[in-house]
């Protein structure tokens, strides 16, 4: 991605009535808002990378549904090579990661990969996590 406004460190892209801003200084932060709201206040999404070693064909849907069912949590993809799920989390709706307690209730252990980004995982796994791509899983 080409840096736009590099001195400010912010890139703003507008399309289909939605504006997406990305801060180059905080790569784990994405703000999304609709043009009607004039992006004030913008919703801030934080990237969340979760490693779950015990994922298999039988429990994949259960794991994904238990995480997404929390509200404010949006699936971006899964990398089978690294056993990681990628999400964007609306921190206004989910201020902490307590929604992951559902995994503990299912006896599924997980590790939050602090410092990892969706872009890093996507690059390492060779997958595309753009909004128009619905095939985010690798085999």
What is the residue-wise DSSP string for 4-43? SSTTTTEEEEEETTEEEEEESS-TTEEEEEEGGGTTTTPE
How far apart are the C-alpha atoms of 22 and 19, rounded to whole Å?
Answer: 10
3: in domain? no
Average pLDDT on 61-83 reads 92
Residues 6+ away with beta carbon under 8 Å from 138: 78, 79, 80, 81, 125, 126, 127
134: in domain? no
pLDDT above 70: residue 39: no
Average pLDDT on 40-69 reads 89
94: in domain? yes
Question: Which has the closest alpha carbon to 96: 108, 112, 78, 77?
Answer: 112
pLDDT above 50: residue 102: yes
14: in domain? yes
5: in domain? no
Give me the pLDDT at residue 63, please. Answer: 93
Using 50, 70 and 90 to split pLDDT, how confident is the model at 44?
Answer: confident
Using 50, 70 and 90 to split pLDDT, how confident is the model at 73?
Answer: very high
CATH number (domain holding residue 63): 3.30.70.250
User: What per-residue string of b and e applies to 96-124 under the rule 16 or more CB within 10 Å gives b?
Assistant: eeebbebbeeeebebeebeebebeebbee
Give me the pLDDT at residue 22, please. Answer: 47
Give me the pLDDT at residue 33, please. Answer: 52
39: in domain? yes
What does pTM read for this prediction? 0.65
pLDDT above 70: residue 20: no
- Residue pair 76/138 in contact by the 8 Å Cβ criterion: no
132: in domain? no
Range of the domain at 69: 10-125
136: in domain? no
Better-predicted residue by pLDDT, 15 or 33: 33
Radius of gyration of the chain (CA): 16
Give me the pLDDT at residue 43, please. Answer: 78
Give me the pLDDT at residue 41, please. Answer: 62
Total domain count, the chain: 1
DSSP one-letter code for 137: B
The proportion of the chain whose per-residue pLDDT surpasses 70, expressed as a percent, equals: 64
């Amino acid at each position: 991605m080409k840096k736009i406004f590099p001195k400010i460190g912010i890139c703003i892209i507008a399309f289909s009535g939605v504006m997406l801003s990305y801060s180059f200084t905080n790569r784990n932060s994405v703000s999304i808002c609709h043009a009607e709201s004039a992006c004030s206040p913008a919703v801030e999404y934080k990237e969340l990378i979760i490693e779950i070693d015990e994922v298999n064909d039988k429990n994949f849907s259960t794991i994904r549904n238990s995480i997404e069912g929390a509200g404010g949590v949006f699936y971006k993809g899964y990398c089978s090579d690294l056993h990681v799920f990628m999400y964007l989390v609306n921190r206004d709706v989910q201020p902490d990661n307590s929604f992951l307690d559902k995994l503990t209730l299912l006896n599924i252990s997980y590790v939050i990969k602090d410092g990892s980004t969706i872009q890093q995982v996507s690059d390492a796994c060779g997958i595309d996590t753009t909004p128009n791509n619905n095939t985010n899983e690798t085999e």
